[in-house]
Structure 1
Amino acid sequence: MSSPRHSPLLLIFCYILTTHPRFRSVTLISHHMASKTLNIYSYGLHKDTTLMLMFEPPNSSKLYRDQFPVVWKVITFRARGHAKAAIHYQQRLAFGYAQTDCDNLVDSAAWVEVANGEISRISGKAGQKRFGSNAKGHATKLLVCKNNTDNRADLSIGFVRGDGINQRYEPTMVWTRVGAKSNVAAQFTPILSAYVTRDYKATEMLRGEVETDAIWTVNLNELDDVTGWNLFEDDSTGAFTIEPARFV
Structure 2
Amino acid sequence: MAASRSLSFTSNNLGTSATLMFIFDEADGLYQGRFPVVLQTSTFQSNGVSRANLGFVDQPAWIDAREDQGAIVATSYQPLDYGQETTLLKDDRTGHFFFDVPKPGIPYNVTVENGTDDNRGIGLGFVKDIGTDNEKLVPAYYWDNFVSSESIGATLQPILRAYVTSDYREGLILQDPISVAAVFEKDLLNLEPDTSWTLSYDPGSGQFSITSG
TM-score range with shorter-chain normalisation?
Answer: over 0.9
Matched, 1:213 2:186: no
Deviations 1:61-86 (A, max 9, x none): xx323110000000011111112212
Match of 2:33 in 1: 66
Match of 1:25 in 2: none
Matched, 1:243 2:187: no
> Normalization by structure 1: what TM-score?
0.80
Q: Give, in whole Å, the separation in 1 of the partners of 2:73 and 2:157.
A: 23
Q: Give, in whole Å, the separation in 2 of the partners of 1:231 and 1:115.
A: 34
Q: Give, in whole Å, the separation in 2 of the partners of 1:92 and 1:226.
A: 17
Letter in 2 for 1:105: A
Matched, 1:145 2:112: yes
RMSD: 1.6
Gaps of 5+ in 1: 1-31
Match runs of 1:82-97 below 5 Å: 82-97=49-64
> Normalization by structure 2: what TM-score?
0.93
Indicate conservation of the 8 Å contact 2:65/2:72, yes or no: yes
Where 1:129 maps in the other structure, the secondary structure is strand
| Deviation, structure 1 residue 166 | 4.7
Match of 2:84 in 1: 118
Match of 2:42 among 72, 75, 79: 75
Count of residue pairs brought into register by the alignment? 210
Where 2:46 maps in the other structure, the secondary structure is coil
Match runs of 1:158-237 below 5 Å: 158-162=125-129, 163=131, 166-237=134-205
Match of 1:52 in 2: 21
Gaps of 5+ in 2: none
Letter in 1 for 2:84: E
Indicate conservation of the 8 Å contact 2:37/2:171, yes or no: yes
Q: Give, in whole Å, the separation in 2 of the partners of 1:219 and 1:156.
A: 21
Letter in 1 for 2:26: P
Deviations 1:156-207 (A, max 9, x none): 1001123266532111001111110111111223100000000000010001
Matched, 1:36 2:2: no
The ranges of structure 1 where at least 4 consecutive aligned residues each deviate by more than 6 angstroms after the TM superposition are none
Indicate conservation of the 8 Å contact 2:87/2:114, yes or no: yes
Indicate conservation of the 8 Å contact 2:37/2:141, yes or no: yes
Q: Would the alpha carbon gap of residues 223 and 165 (structure 1) be closer, same or farther in structure 2, given more than 3 Å must change?
A: closer
Deviations 1:89-132 (A, max 9, x none): 11111000111112x11010010000011111111159511111
Identity rate, percent = 27
